Structure 1
Amino acid sequence: MIAVIGANTIDYFSYSKRLPMPGETMIGDSMMIGPGGKGANQAAAAAKLGVPVCWFSKVGQLDRYKDMVLDGLTAAGVDISAVEEEPGAFCGAGCVMINSETGQNSIIIMHGANAAITPAYIDRHKDRILQAKICMAEFQVPPATAKYALALAGENGAMTILNPAPAAGIEDEFYPLVDIITPNEVEARDITGIEVCDEESARRAADFFHGKGTKAVVITLGSRGAFVSSGGEQRMIRSYAVDAVDTSGAGDCFNGALAYALHEGQDIFSAAGFANAAAAVSVTRRGTMASMPGLADVLRQIE
Protein backbone atom coordinates (compact mmCIF):
# COMPACT_ATOMS: atom_id res chain seq x y z
CA MET A 1 0.00 0.00 0.00
CA ILE A 2 1.09 3.58 -0.71
CA ALA A 3 0.29 6.16 1.97
CA VAL A 4 -0.04 9.73 0.70
CA ILE A 5 0.04 12.56 3.23
CA GLY A 6 -1.04 15.53 1.19
CA ALA A 7 -3.32 18.40 0.41
CA ASN A 8 -6.47 18.82 -1.63
CA THR A 9 -7.78 21.89 -3.38
CA ILE A 10 -10.78 22.99 -5.36
CA ASP A 11 -9.12 24.12 -8.59
CA TYR A 12 -10.50 27.00 -10.65
CA PHE A 13 -9.07 26.83 -14.17
CA SER A 14 -9.10 29.63 -16.72
CA TYR A 15 -7.79 29.14 -20.26
CA SER A 16 -6.65 31.99 -22.51
CA LYS A 17 -4.37 32.42 -25.53
CA ARG A 18 -1.80 34.05 -23.28
CA LEU A 19 -1.48 34.88 -19.60
CA PRO A 20 -2.40 38.44 -18.56
CA MET A 21 0.23 41.08 -17.81
CA PRO A 22 0.15 42.84 -14.40
CA GLY A 23 -2.82 45.22 -14.33
CA GLU A 24 -4.38 43.74 -17.47
CA THR A 25 -7.91 42.33 -17.82
CA MET A 26 -8.44 39.74 -20.53
CA ILE A 27 -11.30 37.76 -22.04
CA GLY A 28 -10.55 34.06 -21.67
CA ASP A 29 -11.38 31.09 -23.86
CA SER A 30 -13.01 28.83 -21.24
CA MET A 31 -13.06 27.89 -17.56
CA MET A 32 -13.75 24.86 -15.39
CA ILE A 33 -13.77 23.78 -11.75
CA GLY A 34 -12.32 20.47 -10.62
CA PRO A 35 -10.67 18.60 -7.74
CA GLY A 36 -6.93 18.90 -7.23
CA GLY A 37 -4.18 19.53 -4.71
CA LYS A 38 -0.73 17.97 -4.80
CA GLY A 39 -1.41 15.08 -2.43
CA ALA A 40 -4.83 14.32 -3.85
CA ASN A 41 -3.48 14.35 -7.40
CA GLN A 42 -0.55 12.09 -6.50
CA ALA A 43 -2.85 9.65 -4.71
CA ALA A 44 -5.22 9.55 -7.70
CA ALA A 45 -2.32 9.09 -10.13
CA ALA A 46 -0.94 6.06 -8.27
CA ALA A 47 -4.36 4.50 -7.65
CA LYS A 48 -5.50 4.84 -11.28
CA LEU A 49 -2.45 2.83 -12.28
CA GLY A 50 -3.66 -0.03 -10.10
CA VAL A 51 -1.94 0.00 -6.70
CA PRO A 52 -3.67 0.30 -3.27
CA VAL A 53 -3.46 3.88 -2.03
CA CYS A 54 -4.64 5.43 1.22
CA TRP A 55 -4.87 9.22 1.37
CA PHE A 56 -4.38 11.15 4.63
CA SER A 57 -5.79 14.68 4.59
CA LYS A 58 -8.52 17.06 5.71
CA VAL A 59 -11.36 18.73 3.86
CA GLY A 60 -13.21 21.86 4.96
CA GLN A 61 -16.50 21.27 6.74
CA LEU A 62 -17.94 24.51 5.33
CA ASP A 63 -17.03 23.81 1.71
CA ARG A 64 -19.88 22.79 -0.57
CA TYR A 65 -17.34 21.42 -3.06
CA LYS A 66 -15.64 18.98 -0.64
CA ASP A 67 -17.56 16.04 -2.11
CA MET A 68 -16.06 16.86 -5.52
CA VAL A 69 -12.63 16.03 -4.10
CA LEU A 70 -13.76 12.93 -2.22
CA ASP A 71 -15.82 11.58 -5.13
CA GLY A 72 -12.91 12.15 -7.53
CA LEU A 73 -10.54 10.21 -5.31
CA THR A 74 -13.03 7.40 -4.73
CA ALA A 75 -13.58 7.10 -8.49
CA ALA A 76 -9.80 6.81 -8.94
CA GLY A 77 -9.71 3.94 -6.42
CA VAL A 78 -8.20 5.82 -3.46
CA ASP A 79 -9.05 4.77 0.11
CA ILE A 80 -10.35 7.97 1.78
CA SER A 81 -11.36 6.41 5.11
CA ALA A 82 -8.73 8.42 7.03
CA VAL A 83 -9.94 11.81 5.75
CA GLU A 84 -11.31 14.17 8.41
CA GLU A 85 -13.46 17.30 8.13
CA GLU A 86 -11.96 20.43 9.69
CA PRO A 87 -14.66 22.41 11.56
CA GLY A 88 -15.15 26.01 10.45
CA ALA A 89 -12.84 25.67 7.45
CA PHE A 90 -13.06 25.57 3.66
CA CYS A 91 -11.02 23.27 1.45
CA GLY A 92 -7.82 24.56 -0.04
CA ALA A 93 -8.15 26.38 -3.35
CA GLY A 94 -6.08 26.68 -6.49
CA CYS A 95 -6.38 29.50 -9.01
CA VAL A 96 -4.91 28.11 -12.22
CA MET A 97 -4.34 30.18 -15.36
CA ILE A 98 -3.41 28.15 -18.45
CA ASN A 99 -2.05 29.40 -21.77
CA SER A 100 -4.28 27.51 -24.21
CA GLU A 101 -1.63 27.82 -26.96
CA THR A 102 1.26 26.23 -25.04
CA GLY A 103 -0.37 24.48 -22.06
CA GLN A 104 1.90 26.35 -19.63
CA ASN A 105 0.36 27.53 -16.37
CA SER A 106 0.60 29.91 -13.44
CA ILE A 107 -0.94 28.81 -10.14
CA ILE A 108 -1.79 30.42 -6.81
CA ILE A 109 -2.90 28.17 -3.94
CA MET A 110 -4.60 28.80 -0.60
CA HIS A 111 -4.13 26.25 2.18
CA GLY A 112 -7.60 26.17 3.75
CA ALA A 113 -8.20 22.98 5.76
CA ASN A 114 -4.82 21.61 4.67
CA ALA A 115 -3.14 23.85 7.25
CA ALA A 116 -4.83 21.74 9.97
CA ILE A 117 -3.11 18.50 8.90
CA THR A 118 -0.97 18.27 12.03
CA PRO A 119 1.25 15.64 13.68
CA ALA A 120 -1.67 14.98 16.05
CA TYR A 121 -3.78 14.05 13.00
CA ILE A 122 -1.02 11.70 11.84
CA ASP A 123 -0.99 10.07 15.28
CA ARG A 124 -4.73 9.38 15.05
CA HIS A 125 -4.11 7.38 11.87
CA LYS A 126 -0.73 5.93 12.79
CA ASP A 127 -1.79 2.29 12.49
CA ARG A 128 -2.78 2.74 8.83
CA ILE A 129 0.37 4.67 7.93
CA LEU A 130 2.51 1.91 9.45
CA GLN A 131 0.99 -0.54 6.95
CA ALA A 132 2.49 1.33 4.02
CA LYS A 133 5.24 0.01 1.76
CA ILE A 134 5.80 3.56 0.46
CA CYS A 135 4.94 6.82 2.22
CA MET A 136 4.74 10.08 0.24
CA ALA A 137 4.44 13.66 1.47
CA GLU A 138 4.53 17.16 -0.03
CA PHE A 139 4.64 20.75 1.18
CA GLN A 140 1.05 21.85 0.64
CA VAL A 141 0.70 20.33 4.11
CA PRO A 142 2.77 21.88 6.93
CA PRO A 143 6.42 20.76 6.51
CA ALA A 144 6.53 19.73 10.19
CA THR A 145 3.70 17.28 9.52
CA ALA A 146 5.40 15.91 6.40
CA LYS A 147 8.58 15.39 8.42
CA TYR A 148 6.71 13.68 11.26
CA ALA A 149 4.84 11.32 8.92
CA LEU A 150 7.92 10.32 6.90
CA ALA A 151 9.92 9.70 10.08
CA LEU A 152 7.15 7.49 11.43
CA ALA A 153 6.83 5.47 8.21
CA GLY A 154 10.58 5.25 7.65
CA GLU A 155 11.21 3.87 11.12
CA ASN A 156 8.80 1.07 10.22
CA GLY A 157 10.72 0.24 7.03
CA ALA A 158 8.66 2.11 4.44
CA MET A 159 10.31 3.83 1.47
CA THR A 160 9.85 7.58 1.93
CA ILE A 161 9.32 10.08 -0.90
CA LEU A 162 9.23 13.85 -0.44
CA ASN A 163 7.96 16.17 -3.17
CA PRO A 164 9.17 19.55 -1.79
CA ALA A 165 6.51 21.59 -3.54
CA PRO A 166 5.84 24.40 -3.08
CA ALA A 167 9.51 24.92 -2.18
CA ALA A 168 10.08 25.61 1.51
CA GLY A 169 12.99 25.68 3.89
CA ILE A 170 14.03 22.15 4.87
CA GLU A 171 15.72 21.55 8.21
CA ASP A 172 19.00 19.65 7.97
CA GLU A 173 17.67 16.84 10.16
CA PHE A 174 14.78 16.30 7.70
CA TYR A 175 16.95 15.20 4.75
CA PRO A 176 18.16 11.85 6.17
CA LEU A 177 14.51 10.82 6.69
CA VAL A 178 13.93 11.05 2.91
CA ASP A 179 14.79 8.12 0.66
CA ILE A 180 13.83 9.98 -2.55
CA ILE A 181 13.38 13.73 -3.00
CA THR A 182 11.58 14.90 -6.16
CA PRO A 183 11.84 18.65 -6.81
CA ASN A 184 11.31 20.22 -10.22
CA GLU A 185 14.02 22.53 -11.54
CA VAL A 186 12.49 25.63 -9.90
CA GLU A 187 12.13 23.96 -6.49
CA ALA A 188 15.66 22.55 -6.78
CA ARG A 189 16.96 26.07 -7.44
CA ASP A 190 15.00 27.61 -4.58
CA ILE A 191 16.26 24.98 -2.10
CA THR A 192 19.87 24.57 -3.26
CA GLY A 193 20.60 28.02 -4.73
CA ILE A 194 21.77 26.31 -7.95
CA GLU A 195 20.13 27.39 -11.22
CA VAL A 196 19.15 24.05 -12.75
CA CYS A 197 19.26 24.49 -16.52
CA ASP A 198 21.15 21.44 -17.85
CA GLU A 199 22.55 18.05 -16.87
CA GLU A 200 25.65 19.48 -15.18
CA SER A 201 23.68 21.89 -12.97
CA ALA A 202 21.18 19.12 -12.15
CA ARG A 203 24.14 16.97 -11.08
CA ARG A 204 25.37 19.70 -8.74
CA ALA A 205 21.89 20.16 -7.26
CA ALA A 206 21.60 16.40 -6.73
CA ASP A 207 24.97 16.38 -4.99
CA PHE A 208 23.66 19.08 -2.63
CA PHE A 209 20.76 16.83 -1.59
CA HIS A 210 23.03 13.81 -1.20
CA GLY A 211 25.37 15.91 0.93
CA LYS A 212 22.45 16.62 3.25
CA GLY A 213 21.70 12.90 3.65
CA THR A 214 19.01 12.12 1.06
CA LYS A 215 19.61 8.74 -0.60
CA ALA A 216 18.13 9.37 -4.07
CA VAL A 217 17.28 12.49 -6.05
CA VAL A 218 14.87 12.88 -8.97
CA ILE A 219 14.76 16.36 -10.49
CA THR A 220 11.95 16.80 -13.01
CA LEU A 221 12.78 19.04 -15.95
CA GLY A 222 9.49 19.30 -17.83
CA SER A 223 9.85 18.59 -21.54
CA ARG A 224 13.55 17.79 -21.03
CA GLY A 225 12.75 14.72 -18.93
CA ALA A 226 14.19 14.00 -15.50
CA PHE A 227 17.61 13.74 -13.86
CA VAL A 228 18.02 10.78 -11.49
CA SER A 229 20.85 10.27 -9.01
CA SER A 230 20.98 7.14 -6.86
CA GLY A 231 23.58 4.69 -5.60
CA GLY A 232 26.46 6.54 -7.21
CA GLU A 233 24.81 6.48 -10.65
CA GLN A 234 23.44 9.60 -12.35
CA ARG A 235 21.35 9.64 -15.52
CA MET A 236 19.12 11.83 -17.64
CA ILE A 237 15.81 10.08 -18.33
CA ARG A 238 14.24 11.01 -21.64
CA SER A 239 10.91 12.75 -22.04
CA TYR A 240 8.16 12.03 -24.57
CA ALA A 241 7.23 14.51 -27.28
CA VAL A 242 3.49 15.26 -27.09
CA ASP A 243 1.17 18.15 -27.91
CA ALA A 244 0.54 19.63 -24.48
CA VAL A 245 -2.80 21.29 -23.76
CA ASP A 246 -2.48 21.72 -19.95
CA THR A 247 0.66 21.11 -17.89
CA SER A 248 -1.01 21.62 -14.50
CA GLY A 249 -0.80 18.44 -12.45
CA ALA A 250 2.01 16.93 -14.56
CA GLY A 251 4.46 16.93 -11.66
CA ASP A 252 1.89 15.28 -9.42
CA CYS A 253 1.24 12.66 -12.08
CA PHE A 254 5.00 12.01 -12.28
CA ASN A 255 5.24 11.54 -8.51
CA GLY A 256 2.24 9.22 -8.29
CA ALA A 257 3.47 7.15 -11.23
CA LEU A 258 7.00 7.01 -9.79
CA ALA A 259 5.61 5.64 -6.51
CA TYR A 260 3.47 3.11 -8.40
CA ALA A 261 6.46 1.81 -10.38
CA LEU A 262 8.67 1.58 -7.28
CA HIS A 263 5.87 -0.21 -5.42
CA GLU A 264 5.71 -2.72 -8.26
CA GLY A 265 9.45 -3.46 -8.02
CA GLN A 266 11.04 -1.27 -10.69
CA ASP A 267 14.40 0.34 -9.95
CA ILE A 268 14.44 4.12 -9.64
CA PHE A 269 15.75 4.74 -13.16
CA SER A 270 13.10 2.56 -14.82
CA ALA A 271 10.45 4.03 -12.50
CA ALA A 272 11.40 7.57 -13.57
CA GLY A 273 11.08 6.56 -17.24
CA PHE A 274 7.62 5.14 -16.54
CA ALA A 275 6.68 8.32 -14.65
CA ASN A 276 7.82 10.48 -17.58
CA ALA A 277 5.48 8.53 -19.85
CA ALA A 278 2.57 8.97 -17.44
CA ALA A 279 3.21 12.72 -17.17
CA ALA A 280 3.36 12.97 -20.97
CA VAL A 281 -0.12 11.49 -21.21
CA SER A 282 -1.44 13.80 -18.49
CA VAL A 283 -0.42 17.03 -20.28
CA THR A 284 -2.53 16.06 -23.30
CA ARG A 285 -5.64 16.39 -21.09
CA ARG A 286 -7.24 19.29 -19.26
CA GLY A 287 -7.44 19.51 -15.50
CA THR A 288 -5.31 18.10 -12.71
CA MET A 289 -6.85 15.04 -11.04
CA ALA A 290 -9.00 14.47 -14.13
CA SER A 291 -5.88 14.22 -16.32
CA MET A 292 -4.28 11.27 -14.51
CA PRO A 293 -3.95 8.29 -16.88
CA GLY A 294 -4.66 4.59 -16.39
CA LEU A 295 -2.03 1.89 -16.88
CA ALA A 296 -3.09 1.05 -20.45
CA ASP A 297 -2.68 4.72 -21.46
CA VAL A 298 0.86 4.83 -20.10
CA LEU A 299 1.87 1.55 -21.71
CA ARG A 300 0.62 2.84 -25.07
CA GLN A 301 2.75 5.96 -24.61
CA ILE A 302 5.83 3.86 -23.85
CA GLU A 303 5.28 1.77 -26.99
Structure 2
Amino acid sequence: MTTIHDHLEEFYGLPAHDFPKAPAAGEALPELPAADAVAWRVRVDYYGDDDGESWTDRFARLLDSVAAERVRALIVGDWGGASQDTSEEVVGALVAASGRLPGLRALFLGDITMEEAEISWILQSQVSPILVAFPALEEFAVRGGQDLAFASVRHERLTQLTVQSGGLPAEVVRGIAGCDLPALTHLDLWLGTEEYGGDCELSDLEPILTGTKFPNLRDLALRNSDIQDRICGALATAPVVTQLHALDVSMGILTDEGAAALVTGQSLTHLTSLDMHYNFMSDAMRGAVRAQLEPAGVEVNVDPDSADNSDEDYRFVAVGE
Protein backbone atom coordinates (compact mmCIF):
# COMPACT_ATOMS: atom_id res chain seq x y z
CA MET A 1 0.00 0.00 0.00
CA THR A 2 1.21 3.48 -0.90
CA THR A 3 1.15 6.46 1.42
CA ILE A 4 1.53 10.19 0.81
CA HIS A 5 4.78 11.35 2.35
CA ASP A 6 5.50 14.61 0.54
CA HIS A 7 3.78 17.94 0.15
CA LEU A 8 3.11 19.31 -3.31
CA GLU A 9 6.18 20.77 -4.95
CA GLU A 10 4.18 22.58 -7.59
CA PHE A 11 0.58 23.33 -8.43
CA TYR A 12 -1.05 24.98 -11.42
CA GLY A 13 2.37 25.05 -13.06
CA LEU A 14 3.81 27.16 -10.23
CA PRO A 15 6.32 26.18 -7.53
CA ALA A 16 4.77 25.71 -4.10
CA HIS A 17 5.87 28.24 -1.49
CA ASP A 18 5.06 28.05 2.22
CA PHE A 19 3.83 31.31 3.69
CA PRO A 20 5.92 31.75 6.86
CA LYS A 21 4.68 31.84 10.40
CA ALA A 22 4.36 35.18 12.16
CA PRO A 23 7.74 36.78 12.90
CA ALA A 24 8.81 37.41 16.46
CA ALA A 25 8.31 40.86 17.93
CA GLY A 26 10.65 43.34 16.29
CA GLU A 27 11.36 41.05 13.34
CA ALA A 28 10.12 41.39 9.78
CA LEU A 29 8.78 38.76 7.42
CA PRO A 30 11.41 37.30 5.12
CA GLU A 31 11.36 38.60 1.57
CA LEU A 32 8.43 37.07 -0.26
CA PRO A 33 8.11 36.14 -3.94
CA ALA A 34 5.73 38.00 -6.21
CA ALA A 35 2.11 37.13 -5.51
CA ASP A 36 1.56 35.54 -8.93
CA ALA A 37 4.91 33.71 -9.12
CA VAL A 38 4.13 30.82 -6.76
CA ALA A 39 1.37 28.60 -5.45
CA TRP A 40 0.99 29.83 -1.88
CA ARG A 41 0.72 27.10 0.73
CA VAL A 42 -0.87 28.02 4.05
CA ARG A 43 -0.52 25.38 6.73
CA VAL A 44 -0.20 25.20 10.48
CA ASP A 45 1.96 22.52 12.03
CA TYR A 46 -0.24 20.88 14.67
CA TYR A 47 2.74 19.12 16.23
CA GLY A 48 5.28 21.91 15.84
CA ASP A 49 5.92 25.43 17.06
CA ASP A 50 3.55 27.84 15.39
CA ASP A 51 3.18 30.13 18.39
CA GLY A 52 -0.52 29.36 18.58
CA GLU A 53 -1.37 31.01 15.26
CA SER A 54 -4.50 29.54 13.69
CA TRP A 55 -4.84 28.67 10.02
CA THR A 56 -7.36 31.45 9.48
CA ASP A 57 -5.03 34.00 11.10
CA ARG A 58 -2.13 32.90 8.92
CA PHE A 59 -4.31 33.06 5.84
CA ALA A 60 -5.40 36.58 6.79
CA ARG A 61 -1.74 37.61 7.11
CA LEU A 62 -1.04 36.23 3.64
CA LEU A 63 -3.79 38.38 2.19
CA ASP A 64 -2.33 41.44 3.93
CA SER A 65 1.29 40.65 3.05
CA VAL A 66 1.12 40.13 -0.72
CA ALA A 67 -0.86 41.62 -3.59
CA ALA A 68 -3.81 39.31 -2.93
CA GLU A 69 -5.59 40.27 -6.13
CA ARG A 70 -2.68 38.75 -8.10
CA VAL A 71 -2.60 35.38 -6.30
CA ARG A 72 -3.20 32.66 -8.89
CA ALA A 73 -2.89 29.43 -6.91
CA LEU A 74 -3.50 28.53 -3.29
CA ILE A 75 -2.67 25.33 -1.41
CA VAL A 76 -4.38 24.61 1.90
CA GLY A 77 -2.20 22.42 4.08
CA ASP A 78 -2.89 21.15 7.59
CA TRP A 79 -5.27 23.53 9.31
CA GLY A 80 -3.91 22.65 12.73
CA GLY A 81 -5.08 19.11 13.39
CA ALA A 82 -6.99 18.01 10.30
CA SER A 83 -7.83 14.71 11.97
CA GLN A 84 -9.48 16.52 14.91
CA ASP A 85 -11.28 19.42 13.20
CA THR A 86 -13.09 19.55 9.87
CA SER A 87 -12.22 21.97 7.09
CA GLU A 88 -15.46 23.91 7.60
CA GLU A 89 -13.76 26.96 9.14
CA VAL A 90 -11.13 26.94 6.38
CA VAL A 91 -13.79 26.76 3.67
CA GLY A 92 -15.63 29.62 5.34
CA ALA A 93 -12.48 31.76 5.42
CA LEU A 94 -11.79 31.08 1.75
CA VAL A 95 -15.33 31.95 0.74
CA ALA A 96 -15.27 35.14 2.82
CA ALA A 97 -12.02 36.20 1.13
CA SER A 98 -13.19 35.57 -2.43
CA GLY A 99 -13.56 39.26 -3.16
CA ARG A 100 -9.89 39.81 -2.37
CA LEU A 101 -8.77 36.97 -4.66
CA PRO A 102 -10.19 37.79 -8.11
CA GLY A 103 -7.15 36.25 -9.83
CA LEU A 104 -7.36 32.87 -8.09
CA ARG A 105 -7.45 30.09 -10.66
CA ALA A 106 -6.41 26.98 -8.71
CA LEU A 107 -7.08 25.70 -5.19
CA PHE A 108 -5.90 22.52 -3.47
CA LEU A 109 -7.72 21.75 -0.22
CA GLY A 110 -5.83 19.29 1.97
CA ASP A 111 -2.15 19.05 1.02
CA ILE A 112 -1.59 16.87 4.08
CA THR A 113 0.97 14.08 4.40
CA MET A 114 0.64 10.83 6.33
CA GLU A 115 2.91 12.23 9.05
CA GLU A 116 0.32 14.95 9.65
CA ALA A 117 -2.79 12.80 9.12
CA GLU A 118 -3.45 9.64 7.13
CA ILE A 119 -5.69 10.35 4.15
CA SER A 120 -8.64 8.52 5.73
CA TRP A 121 -8.29 10.60 8.92
CA ILE A 122 -8.54 14.00 7.21
CA LEU A 123 -11.84 15.61 8.17
CA GLN A 124 -13.29 17.58 5.29
CA SER A 125 -16.65 19.36 5.00
CA GLN A 126 -19.05 20.73 2.39
CA VAL A 127 -16.70 22.12 -0.28
CA SER A 128 -19.06 23.26 -3.05
CA PRO A 129 -19.33 26.81 -1.60
CA ILE A 130 -15.76 27.29 -2.84
CA LEU A 131 -16.86 26.71 -6.44
CA VAL A 132 -19.76 29.10 -6.00
CA ALA A 133 -17.53 31.79 -4.47
CA PHE A 134 -14.80 31.50 -7.13
CA PRO A 135 -16.51 31.44 -10.56
CA ALA A 136 -13.16 31.93 -12.35
CA LEU A 137 -11.54 28.88 -10.74
CA GLU A 138 -10.02 26.50 -13.29
CA GLU A 139 -8.55 23.77 -11.08
CA PHE A 140 -9.90 22.40 -7.81
CA ALA A 141 -8.50 19.48 -5.82
CA VAL A 142 -9.52 17.96 -2.49
CA ARG A 143 -7.75 15.34 -0.38
CA GLY A 144 -9.64 13.34 2.22
CA GLY A 145 -13.07 11.72 2.10
CA GLN A 146 -14.22 11.66 5.72
CA ASP A 147 -17.09 14.14 6.29
CA LEU A 148 -16.61 15.35 2.71
CA ALA A 149 -19.74 16.72 1.06
CA PHE A 150 -20.05 17.91 -2.53
CA ALA A 151 -23.31 19.52 -3.54
CA SER A 152 -24.15 19.52 -7.24
CA VAL A 153 -23.44 22.99 -8.64
CA ARG A 154 -22.84 24.65 -11.99
CA HIS A 155 -19.44 26.14 -12.73
CA GLU A 156 -18.61 27.63 -16.12
CA ARG A 157 -14.80 27.73 -15.95
CA LEU A 158 -13.60 24.65 -14.04
CA THR A 159 -11.42 22.45 -16.25
CA GLN A 160 -9.81 20.11 -13.69
CA LEU A 161 -11.39 18.41 -10.69
CA THR A 162 -9.50 15.98 -8.46
CA VAL A 163 -10.72 14.22 -5.31
CA GLN A 164 -8.19 12.02 -3.54
CA SER A 165 -9.44 9.65 -0.87
CA GLY A 166 -9.01 6.26 0.72
CA GLY A 167 -12.77 5.91 0.51
CA LEU A 168 -15.12 8.23 -1.36
CA PRO A 169 -18.73 8.10 -0.11
CA ALA A 170 -21.39 7.35 -2.70
CA GLU A 171 -23.20 10.58 -1.84
CA VAL A 172 -20.09 12.55 -2.79
CA VAL A 173 -19.74 10.65 -6.07
CA ARG A 174 -23.38 11.38 -6.86
CA GLY A 175 -22.87 15.05 -6.01
CA ILE A 176 -19.92 15.33 -8.37
CA ALA A 177 -21.69 13.38 -11.10
CA GLY A 178 -24.62 15.74 -10.75
CA CYS A 179 -22.56 18.89 -11.26
CA ASP A 180 -22.91 20.95 -14.42
CA LEU A 181 -19.31 21.57 -15.53
CA PRO A 182 -19.32 22.40 -19.25
CA ALA A 183 -15.60 23.27 -19.39
CA LEU A 184 -14.36 20.19 -17.50
CA THR A 185 -11.60 18.34 -19.36
CA HIS A 186 -9.94 16.39 -16.50
CA LEU A 187 -11.69 14.38 -13.78
CA ASP A 188 -9.71 12.31 -11.27
CA LEU A 189 -11.55 10.37 -8.55
CA TRP A 190 -9.80 8.14 -6.00
CA LEU A 191 -12.77 5.97 -5.08
CA GLY A 192 -11.04 3.96 -2.38
CA THR A 193 -12.33 1.06 -0.36
CA GLU A 194 -15.47 0.30 1.62
CA GLU A 195 -13.36 -0.11 4.75
CA TYR A 196 -12.69 3.64 4.68
CA GLY A 197 -16.08 4.82 3.46
CA GLY A 198 -15.83 4.12 -0.27
CA ASP A 199 -19.28 2.66 -0.86
CA CYS A 200 -20.14 3.89 -4.37
CA GLU A 201 -21.62 1.57 -6.97
CA LEU A 202 -21.48 1.66 -10.76
CA SER A 203 -24.89 3.31 -10.80
CA ASP A 204 -23.43 6.31 -8.97
CA LEU A 205 -20.91 6.74 -11.79
CA GLU A 206 -23.47 6.36 -14.57
CA PRO A 207 -23.83 10.09 -15.38
CA ILE A 208 -20.05 10.24 -15.91
CA LEU A 209 -19.93 7.06 -17.97
CA THR A 210 -22.60 8.22 -20.41
CA GLY A 211 -20.36 11.01 -21.70
CA THR A 212 -23.21 13.51 -21.89
CA LYS A 213 -22.71 15.05 -18.44
CA PHE A 214 -19.24 16.46 -19.13
CA PRO A 215 -19.11 16.93 -22.90
CA ASN A 216 -15.53 18.26 -22.98
CA LEU A 217 -14.02 15.58 -20.75
CA ARG A 218 -10.78 14.27 -22.24
CA ASP A 219 -8.86 12.78 -19.27
CA LEU A 220 -10.74 10.44 -16.93
CA ALA A 221 -9.32 8.68 -13.89
CA LEU A 222 -11.52 6.32 -11.90
CA ARG A 223 -8.91 4.69 -9.74
CA ASN A 224 -7.70 3.48 -6.34
CA SER A 225 -10.85 1.37 -6.08
CA ASP A 226 -11.65 -2.02 -4.64
CA ILE A 227 -14.24 -2.47 -7.41
CA GLN A 228 -11.70 -1.72 -10.15
CA ASP A 229 -12.62 -4.85 -12.13
CA ARG A 230 -16.28 -3.79 -12.22
CA ILE A 231 -15.33 -0.26 -13.23
CA CYS A 232 -13.27 -1.61 -16.12
CA GLY A 233 -16.16 -3.83 -17.13
CA ALA A 234 -18.43 -0.79 -17.28
CA LEU A 235 -15.85 1.26 -19.19
CA ALA A 236 -15.68 -1.49 -21.82
CA THR A 237 -18.98 -0.23 -23.22
CA ALA A 238 -19.24 3.25 -21.69
CA PRO A 239 -19.90 6.01 -24.27
CA VAL A 240 -17.57 8.43 -22.46
CA VAL A 241 -14.51 6.43 -23.56
CA THR A 242 -14.89 7.46 -27.19
CA GLN A 243 -14.27 11.13 -26.30
CA LEU A 244 -11.22 10.51 -24.09
CA HIS A 245 -7.54 11.03 -24.76
CA ALA A 246 -6.35 9.48 -21.49
CA LEU A 247 -7.90 6.80 -19.30
CA ASP A 248 -6.59 5.93 -15.84
CA VAL A 249 -7.77 2.83 -13.95
CA SER A 250 -4.65 2.50 -11.81
CA MET A 251 -4.01 2.01 -8.08
CA GLY A 252 -6.93 -0.34 -7.48
CA ILE A 253 -7.61 -4.05 -7.19
CA LEU A 254 -7.44 -4.68 -10.92
CA THR A 255 -7.09 -8.31 -12.02
CA ASP A 256 -7.11 -10.18 -15.32
CA GLU A 257 -10.92 -10.17 -15.24
CA GLY A 258 -11.22 -6.39 -15.37
CA ALA A 259 -8.31 -5.91 -17.76
CA ALA A 260 -9.70 -8.47 -20.21
CA ALA A 261 -13.14 -6.88 -20.12
CA LEU A 262 -11.68 -3.45 -20.86
CA VAL A 263 -9.39 -4.37 -23.73
CA THR A 264 -11.86 -6.73 -25.41
CA GLY A 265 -14.66 -4.20 -25.26
CA GLN A 266 -14.83 -1.10 -27.42
CA SER A 267 -11.68 0.05 -29.20
CA LEU A 268 -9.12 1.92 -27.13
CA THR A 269 -6.68 2.65 -29.94
CA HIS A 270 -7.76 6.30 -30.10
CA LEU A 271 -6.31 6.90 -26.62
CA THR A 272 -2.94 8.56 -26.14
CA SER A 273 -2.48 6.79 -22.78
CA LEU A 274 -3.92 3.99 -20.66
CA ASP A 275 -2.70 3.86 -17.07
CA MET A 276 -3.17 0.57 -15.21
CA HIS A 277 -0.16 0.80 -12.90
CA TYR A 278 -0.39 -0.88 -9.49
CA ASN A 279 -2.45 -3.90 -10.50
CA PHE A 280 -2.86 -7.59 -9.74
CA MET A 281 -2.78 -8.86 -13.31
CA SER A 282 -0.80 -11.82 -14.59
CA ASP A 283 2.31 -11.31 -16.67
CA ALA A 284 0.45 -12.81 -19.61
CA MET A 285 -2.36 -10.26 -19.34
CA ARG A 286 0.08 -7.36 -19.03
CA GLY A 287 1.79 -8.55 -22.18
CA ALA A 288 -1.54 -8.90 -24.00
CA VAL A 289 -2.56 -5.33 -23.12
CA ARG A 290 0.74 -3.98 -24.41
CA ALA A 291 0.58 -6.09 -27.57
CA GLN A 292 -2.89 -4.83 -28.39
CA LEU A 293 -2.43 -1.11 -27.73
CA GLU A 294 1.22 -0.12 -28.04
CA PRO A 295 1.39 -0.81 -31.81
CA ALA A 296 -1.44 1.73 -32.19
CA GLY A 297 0.65 4.37 -30.41
CA VAL A 298 -1.08 4.17 -27.03
CA GLU A 299 1.24 4.78 -24.07
CA VAL A 300 0.50 1.89 -21.71
CA ASN A 301 1.53 1.55 -18.06
CA VAL A 302 0.83 -1.89 -16.61
CA ASP A 303 3.50 -1.91 -13.89
CA PRO A 304 2.28 -4.22 -11.10
CA ASP A 305 2.02 -3.75 -7.36
CA SER A 306 5.40 -4.51 -5.83
CA ALA A 307 3.97 -6.98 -3.31
CA ASP A 308 3.22 -10.67 -3.83
CA ASN A 309 -0.34 -10.71 -5.18
CA SER A 310 -0.97 -14.42 -5.30
CA ASP A 311 -3.20 -14.34 -2.20
CA GLU A 312 -6.47 -12.46 -2.77
CA ASP A 313 -6.72 -11.69 0.95
CA TYR A 314 -3.65 -9.47 0.65
CA ARG A 315 -4.77 -7.32 -2.24
CA PHE A 316 -5.36 -3.71 -1.30
CA VAL A 317 -5.89 -0.40 -3.07
CA ALA A 318 -2.77 1.73 -3.31
CA VAL A 319 -4.00 4.44 -0.92
CA GLY A 320 -6.39 3.38 1.83
CA GLU A 321 -5.80 4.38 5.41
Q: Same fold (TM over 0.5)?
A: no
More strand by share: 1
Q: Which has the higher contact order (CA 8 A, sep 6+)?
A: 1
Larger Rg: 2
Quickly name the TM-score band, shorter chain normalised.
0.3 to 0.5
Q: TM-score, normalised by structure 2?
A: 0.35
Q: TM-score, normalised by structure 1?
A: 0.36
